[in-house]
Structure 1
């Protein structure tokens, strides 16, 4: 029997900016520690993403000690404390959800406004804020921070291999922005997983991830193309949406580490049913 393991962990401290690959990461109530804890909003408090500003993809992030470093070519780095000072309240919206964020700093606002060519503010998710996951797919206690809707996105390495074979392109996993990547299973095996355990943490996989235009953006250049949506429309389309990867919810806090074993606890009908 094939051994399935956790092969990659990626956190995205600032929503829609580049991610950070880590060997190990604490799992907190809202998901991976520091994942989508910060977010850029426009003057109306609406979240900003690569869908609107593709150049966000090329802004890099790094964890340096107790700080988050943000960098872009030809501009001095911005360095922020991982434990920000208590800023003023900023009402903001993520899709249909309204929440109260906290302002980071005027310095950060100016840095990002200049880098993106758009007036914006940097906010963070405060410890006392609670953002529930859609109750159609979640339990009452499930929470997330500034993610689109779920604290985790899971993809298997062989699912990407299947897609790359169909495209005849060597597309990197970074295009799809998963938090956890697993190896040792067949392509799209995760479509039928309902409950799994990674290391000592159990996960529920209630919903496949429908894909927007973000995977068409090259994370190194911020240039856009037709793939992978062109091929996903041909191979992974259901009810007028295309799917790649599975949204996931965690039952416990703890620590995830690359190399952790993955155990399939329950399976069901394929999501999507294709």
Structure 2
């Protein structure tokens, strides 16, 4: 090898060896870090389970549910299975999703199942509407979710659109009802890309059907109790729209959980803190905001993200609860033990 000394070759070889060892060590570390733990510590029990069949709609309390990649699913024999945030309201003209920030009355719409093919919509001062979920010649619509992300749904027809519009928009027939279809969401799409750069545990499979960020929101009852001590009147867990409420741990310890196991099989990964917006100020029973945005303001006093890079991303949105992705599916029920790995 002309012009290259033996000493240089030795140095280059040693450098390559060091680089290889470093790369191998990092790979093994990353592999261990992302491996499901084999040891678990009990921290509490499941106190509440909630599914929100309609995004921004009324919560449905269940005793048992299936944990899947797209979120909780509630099964009843010989009936249509309700998926968490499996339905959404969107505008017929520009296909933009609408939520309770736009129409707070959405918070009072109840969705239940009638049979294998039909669901029932109910709301105050409205006649119930039974509508089909298996649409003949379904029309696929590409909706825009609240942060600009695109996601497909099946339009539920003119009758459902008229009912939703009459209730929420007082006869301005621009709103339509969409049923989620199994189309992949990606952390490389906007706005998920910026989140995934900071929250490294996020995966495509964590994003749910119409969830804002992730398909599971895990909540600690003790954290709510601590907040209520700081407020003039108590607020409900449903102000925060959790899926799984854990009873037993001390307040805010959920921030530091990584792996979470519930019951015998279901295993989750804590993906990111759930940062909050003005919706937590709305009373879930009346759809009326509490005075002076007190809930959000109080949380902003002591629950802002502290890590600099994450704070730059989240701004002044306070954290309450954790977003989680499923890593091993399973059935969970009220009273199940909750463990951390």
Query: Same fold, TM exceeding 0.5?
Result: yes
Partner of 2:103: 53
1:218 is displaced (CA, Å) by 1.1
Task: Assess, with a 3 A threshold, how the Cα gap between structure 1 residues 172 and 228 changes in structure 2: closer, same or farther.
Answer: same
What is the RMSD computed on CA atoms of the aligned residues?
1.9
- 2:256 is the counterpart of 1:180: no
- 2:325 is the counterpart of 1:256: no
Whole-angstrom CA distance in 1 between matches of 2:88 and 2:280:
19
Task: Assess, with a 3 A threshold, how the Cα gap between structure 1 residues 254 and 114 changes in structure 2: closer, same or farther.
Answer: same
Q: Any idea what SS the aligned residue of 1:228 has?
A: helix
- 2:264 is the counterpart of 1:221: no
Q: Is the 8 Å Cα contact of residues 184 and 204 (structure 2) preserved in structure 1?
A: no
Task: Assess, with a 3 A threshold, how the Cα gap between structure 1 residues 49 and 175 changes in structure 2: closer, same or farther.
Answer: same
Task: Assess, with a 3 A threshold, how the Cα gap between structure 1 residues 65 and 163 changes in structure 2: closer, same or farther.
Answer: farther
Q: Is the 8 Å Cα contact of residues 48 and 61 (structure 2) preserved in structure 1?
A: yes
Higher strand share: 1
Partner of 1:29: 69
Task: Assess, with a 3 A threshold, how the Cα gap between structure 1 residues 100 and 61 changes in structure 2: closer, same or farther.
Answer: closer
1:194 is displaced (CA, Å) by 1.1
Task: Assess, with a 3 A threshold, how the Cα gap between structure 1 residues 146 and 126 changes in structure 2: closer, same or farther.
Answer: same
Q: Is the 8 Å Cα contact of residues 2 and 185 (structure 1) preserved in structure 2?
A: no
1:170 is displaced (CA, Å) by 1.5
Task: Assess, with a 3 A threshold, how the Cα gap between structure 1 residues 141 and 216 changes in structure 2: closer, same or farther.
Answer: closer
Structure 1: runs of 5+ lacking an equivalent: 266-274
Whole-angstrom CA distance in 2 between matches of 1:153 and 1:176:
9
- 2:184 is the counterpart of 1:130: yes
If the length of structure 1 is used for normalisation, what is the TM-score? 0.90
Count of paired positions: 264
Partner of 2:21: none
Higher helix share: 2
Partner of 1:146: 210
1:143 is displaced (CA, Å) by 4.2
Structure 2: runs of 5+ lacking an equivalent: 1-40, 74-82, 306-310
Whole-angstrom CA distance in 2 between matches of 1:37 and 1:198:
23
Task: Assess, with a 3 A threshold, how the Cα gap between structure 1 residues 163 and 83 changes in structure 2: closer, same or farther.
Answer: farther
Give 1:179-218 correspondences, 5 Å limit: 179-199=243-263, 200-218=265-283
1:29 is displaced (CA, Å) by 2.2
Q: Is the 8 Å Cα contact of residues 262 and 339 (structure 2) preserved in structure 1?
A: yes
Whole-angstrom CA distance in 2 between matches of 1:111 and 1:141:
33
Tell me which moved more, 249-258 or 82-91.
82-91
Q: Is the 8 Å Cα contact of residues 42 and 339 (structure 2) preserved in structure 1?
A: no
Give 1:38-187 correspondences, 5 Å limit: 38-42=87-91, 43-66=93-116, 67-81=118-132, 83=134, 85=136, 87-94=138-145, 95-117=147-169, 118=172, 119-127=174-182, 129-133=183-187, 134=192, 136=196, 137=199, 138-187=202-251
Q: Any idea what SS the aligned residue of 1:185 has?
A: coil
